Amino acid sequence: MGRKTGGWTISHTVRCEHRGAYVCAAVTGDNTPDDVMEYLDEVRESCLGYGCPRVLIEEDLKGLSLGTMAIYDIVTRGSRRAAPAVSKIAFLDLNAENAQENMKFAETLAVNRWLDVRFFTDRREAEQWLVA
């Protein structure tokens, strides 16, 4: 992808695969607020299509971590859109440049909005939590 919206160029790819108990979504691209919101919508649509509300998002976005206001906006809007298509999300952040405190902030915001979300750095732990 490479289209413009809201001043940002949308540039990401999402590959979703149904793995029985959950959907695995591999996301690559740029770490911009618009890319994140758009890929989350694409993942939601895949979960609806598969009829599977649990998802493992393998996020490998390039660029600096998003700021707290962008994270707040994404989580607030995204949590409203998620239900009922998505009920449990395991994020596997593959970008070592991302600030872990920002990921914890996003997790806390989502949980406070009744969305079961957890961030992981280990795939096996993410899968185990997701199917528990």
Query: What domain count does the chain have?
Result: 1
We report the CATH number of the domain holding residue 82 as 3.30.750.24
pTM of the model: 0.88
Q: What are the pLDDT digits (tens) for 29-73?
A: 999 999 999 999 999 999 999 999 999 999 999 988 899 999 999
- Label residues 90-118 b or e (16+ Cβ within 10 Å = b): bbbbeeeebeeebbeebbebbeeeebbbb
Nearest 5°: CA angle at 115, between 4 and 93?
60
Structural domain for 77, as ranges: 3-131
